[in-house]
Amino acid sequence: MTVETPVRFSPLSAWQDTLAQLPTGIRVREVPHLTQLTLRAKPGSAAARAVEACLGVPLPGPVRAELSGDVEVLWMGPDEWLLVAPDGRADDLRARLRSAVGDEFATVTDVSAQRTTLALSGPLVRPVLAQGCAVDLDPRVTPAGSCPTTLLAQAPVTLVVRDDAPAPDVRLLVRASFAAYLAAWLVDACTEHR
């Protein structure tokens, strides 16, 4: 019996050429198929400390992201984090975390197929996003390392501010079902900047 590997597709594969033609001050590209694991654990518990030791980074507090390790850790709620790593790391990372946690209570769930990621960079990132986002995107309010979950043009996103210098570097994690809508909105929001 032959087992076929499922075909993966990028939710925004048809948008690559359009996104590449945005104004000079903003670059947008999809980063598809990232490993994404949801971690649930009580903050400060033995399980949380075991995860921190395994990852080599602390679990961040509210609306913050830990971006320094090879696995990025995004705060999603009081006892929930999203672990983001390169494609193909889900099985290994999940096994390492489950081994580290041992008999302590925590859950690790693969949600990689749920979302895609848009990488935005350039001086127009904050002005363009501000057109559809209720979060104050001023760097003093949402500096590098911030990761609010919010609505962008009515689409739920997790907005990760990765860097501010020399220009903003932001990632938007969006459910695959909203990805094309959000791409269309970004193209429209950039119209006035041409």
pLDDT at position 4 is 78
Fold type of domain 35-112: Alpha-Beta Plaits (3.30.70)
Fold type of domain 13-32+114-193: Gyrase A; domain 2 (3.30.1360)
List, for residues 71-85, the tens digit of each pLDDT value: 999 999 999 999 999
Domain 13-32+114-193 and domain 35-112, same fold? Reply is no
Q: Which residues of the chain register pLDDT less than 50?
A: none
pLDDT at position 73 is 98
pLDDT at position 194 is 80
pLDDT at position 131 is 96
pLDDT at position 141 is 94
**Residues 174/141/121/26 CA torsion (nearest 10 deg):** 100
Domain ranges in the chain are 13-32+114-193, 35-112
pTM of the entire predicted model? 0.92
CA distances from 150 to 46, 80, 91, 194 (A): 30, 16, 29, 27
